[in-house]
Amino acid sequence: MKERVIVFGGDGFCGWPTALHLSESGYEVIIVDNLSRRKIDIELDANSLTPIKSIYKRIETWKQLTGNEIHYYNIDISVHYRRLLEVIEKHKPKAVVHFAEQRSAPYSMKSPYLKRYTIDNNTNATHNICCAIVESQLDVHLIHLGTTGYYGYSSVGLTIPEGYLNVKVDVDGDEKYLEIAYPPNPGSIYHLTKCMDPLIFSYYNKNDLMKITDLHQGIVYGTQTEETRMHEDLINRFDYCGDYGTVLNRFLMQSQVNHPITVHGTGGQTRAFIHIQDTVRCVKMALQNPPKRGNKVKILNQTSECRNILELAKIIRDITGGEIRFYRNPRNEDPDNELKFDNTGFKSLGWDPIMLDQSLMTEIIEITNKYKHRCDMSKIICTSVWNDHIQVDKTGSGEPIK
C-alpha cells in the first residue's frame, strides 16, 4: 500500500506542484483546499497570467497521464474542524503538508477586514490541523511551509541559524547557556501569522510529542516544475499583480509588457530566494526525513541564495532592455538590509540547490511572452500600503526614493 500524504492548500502556487511531485514519487496524495486563492482572483479582478484549469480538470488530466489518482476535498479547514478530522481519520496519512494559509503580505495589509481574515484563516488553520492530528491519535508528521520573513530583515551581520539560537546569559555572576527560538520579527500581518505558527507547533510538540518540521522558505521564483510541464492542463499559477506576484517573476513579466521594473524605495532590500522546483524537492526531502517522536520541532531554512533587489533589477534590465523605475515603498521597513542564512540542514540531506542564472530567467520570460496578452496593466502597481502615512505611488521616479 502506498504511503498517504495530505496536502492542505494543494491547489495553490506551491501546493499544486508539490502534490504532483509527491504523486509522481509514489505517494498517495489527498488534496484539501477550499479554493480561496481562486476566489481572491475574482475579488481582486486579477487572474493568473497562466490560464489555470479547474482543480477537477487538473486531477483528471494527471490521472490520464500517469494513472495516479489524487483525491480532493473542498474544505475550509480554518472553520470546518470536524470534516478536517474525518479526512485525517479516514486516510490515516503518514504526513500532512500545510500550505493552507493566505500567503500575501500586501493582501494582508490591504484593509482592516483582510488583516482580520488573514489572522483568522492562517492561525485557525494551523491550530485545527494540530488539534485534529492529536484527536485522531495517529502518528502523523506535520510539515509546514513557513517563511524566512519570520526572522525579519535586520542587518546585524549574523548568519541566521535554522530556527534556534544559542545564547549566553548571566545568572548571579555565572554564565549559563540556553538554546532559544530565534526572535521573530514580523513585517506584516501575514508574517505575524507565520510567527504565531511556531508557538502553536512548540506547544503541541511539547505537550503531545507531535512530529513537526517547519520550513522557513525564501521568495519563490519560476512557475513550472517537471510535473506541471507535462501538459497544458497542469500548468502552475503565475501571479503578477501588486498583491500576489513575487518579486523576480514580477520584474521579468514587467520587462516583457513594456512596463517599468517596479523597484520599491532604494532597492537596497536583500531577500532570500528559491526556485519552485526546489520547493517541491525540499518538501519531499523533509517528508522522507522526519524528526523522531519526542524530538523538538525541526526547523530548516529552505532557501538557496540571497539577492539584493536593485542588483536583481539591474540584471533583468541588462538581459531584457527594460527600464528601472523607483516607486515609494508601500511597506514600513528599513530601506536597506543584508541577509545571510544557514541552509546546511537540507544540504546535509543531499540537496544541491538551483542557483539563479540567465537560463532560468529565460524560462520565465518564455512563459510571460506566451501569455502576456492576459496581463492587466492596471494591476501591476502595488496599491496595498502598510499604514495611513504611506501614499500609493503610481508615477515613480528615475532615482532611488529614500
Return d(Cα 22, Cα 4) in angstroms, integer. Answer: 10
What's the pTM value of the predicted model, to 2 decimals?
A: 0.97
pLDDT higher than threshold 90 for residue 1: no
Report residue 6's pLDDT band, with 50, 70 and 90 as the boundaries. very high
Among residues 18, 123, 126, 147, the one annotated as catalytic is 147
Question: In this predicted structure, what is the pLDDT of residue 205?
Answer: 98
Q: Give the phi and the psi of residue 6 in degrees, each rounded to 5.
A: -95, 130
Return d(Cα 165, Cα 182) in angstroms, integer. Answer: 5
Return d(Cα 249, Cα 267) in angstroms, integer. Answer: 16
Return d(Cα 384, Cα 192) in angstroms, integer. Answer: 17
Domain 4-379: CATH superfamily is NAD(P)-binding Rossmann-like Domain (3.40.50.720)
Question: How does pLDDT run across 261-289, given as a tens digit for each residue?
Answer: 999 999 999 999 999 999 999 999 999 99
148's grid cell: 524566512
| 10 and 31 Cβ atoms separated by less than 8 Å | yes
Question: In this predicted structure, what is the pLDDT of residue 132?
Answer: 98
Report residue 402's pLDDT band, with 50, 70 and 90 as the boundaries. confident
Q: Looking at residues 204-216, what average pLDDT do you find?
A: 98
Report residue 20's pLDDT band, with 50, 70 and 90 as the boundaries. very high
Return d(Cα 155, Cα 145) in angstroms, integer. Answer: 24
pLDDT higher than threshold 80 for residue 154: no
Secondary-structure breakdown of the chain: helix, strand, coil percentages, each rounded to the nearest 5: 40, 20, 40
Question: How does pLDDT run across 175-190, given as a tens digit for each residue?
Answer: 999 999 999 999 999 9
Q: CB atoms < 10 A from the CB of 54, how many? A: 12
Beta strands in 194-294 (DSSP E): 211-217, 219-221, 261-264, 270-275
Question: In this predicted structure, what is the pLDDT of residue 266?
Answer: 96
Sign of CA pseudo-dihedral 175, 177, 181, 185: positive
Report residue 254's pLDDT band, with 50, 70 and 90 as the boundaries. very high
What does 153-197 look like in DSSP terms, one character per residue?
Answer: -----PPB-SSEEEEEEEETTEEEEEEEEPPP--SSHHHHHHHHH
Q: Looking at residues 142-169, what average pLDDT do you find?
A: 92
Percent of the chain at pLDDT exceeding 70:
100
Question: In this predicted structure, what is the pLDDT of residue 318?
Answer: 95
User: Measured in Å, how far apart are the chain's first and last C-alpha atoms?
Assistant: 59
Q: How many residues can be counted in the chain?
A: 402
Q: Looking at residues 330-359, what average pLDDT do you find?
A: 94
Mean pLDDT of the chain: 96
Return d(Cα 19, Cα 28) in angstroms, integer. Answer: 9
Q: Looking at residues 46-66, what average pLDDT do you find?
A: 98
Would residue 147 show up in a list of annotated catalytic residues for this protein?
yes
Among residues 194, 284, 298, 379, the one annotated as catalytic is 194
Return d(Cα 43, Cα 79) in angstroms, integer. Answer: 20
Grouping H, G, I as helix, E, B as strand and the rest as coil, residue 193 is helix
Would residue 190 show up in a list of annotated catalytic residues for this protein?
yes
Among residues 190, 221, 240, 371, the one annotated as catalytic is 190
**Beta strands 95-98; 4-8: pairing state:** parallel
Question: In this predicted structure, what is the pLDDT of residue 400?
Answer: 96
